[in-house]
Amino acid sequence: MDNDAPLSTLRNLGPASEQAFARVNITTVGQLRDLGTDAAYARLIRAGTRPHFISYYVLEMALQGRPWNDCKGDEKTALRTRFDALKSAHMDPDRDAFEAIMDSLGVIER
């Protein structure tokens, strides 16, 4: 695949992913591949994207050219460990606590 191709040309990634990554200046397949899953996802977290394990492993599968639901068993467990470490390293615990309080008050719309 062409390194200058837009992210939505990767299996599993669509316009919403493309928009999220564009906000952190990742716009091409080549940029995403060069960064890899962890560094690219860390950028999203630091920019305020709420981390979700499924979106993390969907990204990993996309970079491998595999269907999103191909991640299972030991591989999925290992990815969960990586995701949890990444989330801990890049999440702002104060912001997360603040959002939990706002959610309990009904301020955050679902």
CA dihedral 97, 47, 52, 64 (to 10 degrees): -160
Instruction: Report if residue 83 sits inside a domain.
Output: yes
Token look-up 């706002």 returns 102
Backbone φ and ψ of 107, nearest 5°? -80, -35
- Domain containing 16 equals 7-104
At 80, give phi and psi (nearest 5°). -65, -40
In a domain, 110, yes or no: no
Residue 98 falls inside a structural domain? yes
- pLDDT tens for each residue of 40-93: 999 999 888 889 999 999 999 999 999 999 999 999 999 999 999 999 888 766
Give, as one character, the DSSP assignment of residue 92: -
Q: How many domains does the chain have?
A: 1
Helix (H, G, I), strand (E, B) or coil at 88: helix
CB atoms < 10 A from the CB of 83, how many?
21
Report pLDDT digits (tens) over 24-42: 999 999 999 999 999 999 9
What pLDDT does 26 receive? 97
Residue 66 lies in a domain: yes
Residue type, 110: R
CATH number, residue 98: 1.10.150.20
